[in-house]
């Protein structure tokens, strides 16, 4: 139907972004199903419905009149191309490698949560870090008072450095305000707070 949302994303996919396409495999058994990785080599916006462009009306998900400049269909060219066992309507996940870190900003000398993304074949591949939250407490050794800390655990709850075994990620952010607070009987101290987020990875035993 006109105006229906078929896909959503935070940032529109671009050339050199990565995708994971679900492949049913050659047999009807789920044992050969899986995700195939590919890179976007071309993005085409389709605003006029034709027999070879846009979501087919035979799916009953769209109508020919749905394709307009303000509501385009996206056509992607992938490398490598999808294989024959990747069926029409297969799930597609778009992703881009990003980096989060505790970063000392030269402008004010404060520490921040910084973010940048990396896209293959872009020049430069990785963008310049940008502050997105803070200021945080200065960097310190793991397990102490660092403004940002990532701890990785396996399925048994043990800390691991093997990325193939990671089942849970603990993220701790420790903020430090610009003002001080006065507690009865104590000297003024900086206003501080912290937050912990536990991230569980899917499909890990």
- Residue range 53-112, pLDDT digits in tens: 777 777 777 777 777 788 788 889 999 999 999 988 888 999 988 999 999 999 999 999
41 and 112 share one domain: no
pLDDT at 177 over 80: no
In a domain, 140, yes or no: yes
101-110 per-position pLDDT tens digit = 999 999 999 9
**Token reading at 204:** 């890990």
179 and 117 share one domain: yes
Boundary of a domain, candidates 95, 123, 147: 95
The residue length of the chain stands at: 205
86 and 136 share one domain: no
Q: How confident is the model at residue 1 (pLDDT cuts 50, 70, 90)?
A: very low
Neighbours of 35 (CB within 10 A): 13
Residues forming beta bridges with residue 199, ordered by sequence position: 169
Indicate the pTM of the whole model: 0.70
89 and 174 share one domain: no
Domain count, the chain: 2
Task: Report, as an integer, the average pLDDT of 12-25.
Answer: 92
84 and 62 share one domain: yes
21-51 per-position pLDDT tens digit = 999 988 888 888 999 999 999 999 888 877 6
User: For residue 143, what are the domain limits?
Assistant: 97-200
106 and 119 share one domain: yes
Boundary of a domain, candidates 79, 95, 111: 95
125-166 per-position pLDDT tens digit = 999 999 999 899 999 998 899 999 999 999 999 999 999 999
68 and 110 share one domain: no
160 and 176 share one domain: yes
Neighbours of 111 (CB within 10 A): 23
75 and 134 share one domain: no
172 and 135 share one domain: yes
- Give Cα 153 distance to the centre of its chain: 20
Boundary of a domain, candidates 50, 68, 95: 95
Residues forming beta bridges with residue 172, ordered by sequence position: 149, 196
52 and 110 share one domain: no
């Amino acid at each position: 139907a006109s105006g229906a949302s078929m896909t959503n994303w935070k940032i529109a996919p671009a050339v050199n972004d990565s995708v994971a396409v679900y492949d049913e495999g050659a047999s009807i058994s789920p044992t050969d199903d899986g995700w195939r990785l590919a890179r976007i080599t071309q993005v085409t916006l389709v605003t006029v419905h034709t027999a070879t462009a846009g979501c087919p009306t035979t799916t009953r998900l769209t109508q020919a009149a749905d394709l307009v400049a303000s509501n385009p269909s996206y056509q992607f060219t992938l490398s490598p191309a999808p294989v024959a066992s990747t069926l029409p309507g297969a799930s597609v996940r778009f992703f881009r490698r990003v980096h989060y870190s505790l970063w000392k900003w030269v402008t004010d000398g404060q520490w921040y949560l910084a973010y940048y993304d990396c896209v293959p074949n872009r020049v430069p591949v990785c963008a310049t870090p940008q502050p997105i939250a803070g200021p945080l407490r200065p960097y310190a050794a793991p397990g102490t008072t660092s403004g940002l800390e990532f701890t990785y655990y396996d399925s048994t709850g043990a800390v691991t450095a093997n990325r193939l075994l990671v089942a849970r990620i603990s993220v701790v952010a420790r903020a430090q305000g610009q003002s001080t607070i006065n507690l009865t009987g104590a000297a003024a101290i900086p206003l501080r707070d912290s937050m912990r987020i536990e991230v569980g990875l899917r499909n890990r035993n």
